[in-house]
Amino acid sequence: MKAPNLPKALDMPSIPLKQPSAEMPVFPPIVIPPSNLSAPKGVEGKEKEEVQTEQPKLSLPVIDIDLPLPTAEVVATATYAAVAAVATTTLATPLFDKLKKQIQKFLQKKIDKWKEQKQQKKNLKDSSVN
């Protein structure tokens, strides 16, 4: 068997690609003092005031029970969430009602048209049998 006569390959020029380069951002180092750092001898510092984190309580003297009350942060978060929920519902309800009415009208028209076509097919079938 004879080898096929194939044309020579095309000479394709090579495309030189440069390696990408980028400038890296440089940030100044952050010095964090150790947790056991103390002032040198002879230097007086200000005393830190301890923040009281005790949960507030409501005393009911008649039944002698202390009820824990939520902190101000919890009350504020719950208030914001409740206001947002009520506002969203109040604004969205009329929009959804309008959409619901339009969709119901559209679907009712389609159902009526389907019933009409079904009735016409039935009438045609009955008339062709007679």
Please give the residue that has the higher pLDDT: either 15 or 49: 15
pLDDT for res 59: 83
pLDDT exceeds 80 at position 12: yes
DSSP the chain: -PPP-PPPPP-PPPPP-PPP--PPP--PPPP---TT--PPTT---PPPPPPP-PPPEEEETTTTEEEE---HHHHHHHHHHHHHHHHHHHHHHHHHHHHHHHHHHHHHHHHHHHHHHHHHHHHHHHHHH-
pLDDT for res 47: 67
Please give the residue that has the higher pLDDT: either 89 or 58: 89
pLDDT exceeds 80 at position 44: no
| pTM listed for this prediction | 0.37
